[in-house]
Amino acid sequence: MANSFDRIYAVVKKIPRGTVASYGQVALLAGNPRWARVVGYALHANPDPEGIPCYRVVTKDGRTSPAFAFGGADIQRALLEADGIEFTEDGRVDMAKYGWTGLG
């Protein structure tokens, strides 16, 4: 049986380019809706940044992480923009437009 981090990584690997998911959504899809904080820990310890696109996980209101594991929020934003995601004037991802449904 996979541990919590493995289950989280399996979900994050499924987030398609051009979409984002929230920490809570990843937690729910990984099997425990109370794991939002655990998702943060797992992504910070990401063993395979190329294969596990942790930059595609944002807060439920579309904010990037100020403590993004690979160099700060500006790096996360740049990676998301490279995926084709646009930001609102207040620096958030429009979750209605770019949020992943978890179904594909």
CATH number at 93 reads 1.10.10.10
pLDDT band at 56 (very low <50, low <70, confident <90, very high): very high
The domain total for the chain is 1
How far CA 50 is from CA of 10, 34, 38, 88, in Å, comes to: 14, 27, 20, 27
Q: Is residue 39 in a domain? A: yes
| Average pLDDT of the segment spanning 5-31 | 96
Positions marked active-site:
54
Quick check: 83 and 50 in contact, CB under 8 A?
Answer: no
CA distance 18 to 89: 19
Considering the entire predicted model, what is its pTM?
A: 0.91
CA distance 101 to 44: 23
Quick check: 100 and 19 in contact, CB under 8 A?
Answer: yes
Q: Is residue 104 in a domain? A: no
Q: Is residue 103 in a domain? A: no
Residue range 24-52, pLDDT digits in tens: 999 999 999 999 999 999 998 999 988 99
Domain holding 83, by residue range, is: 4-98
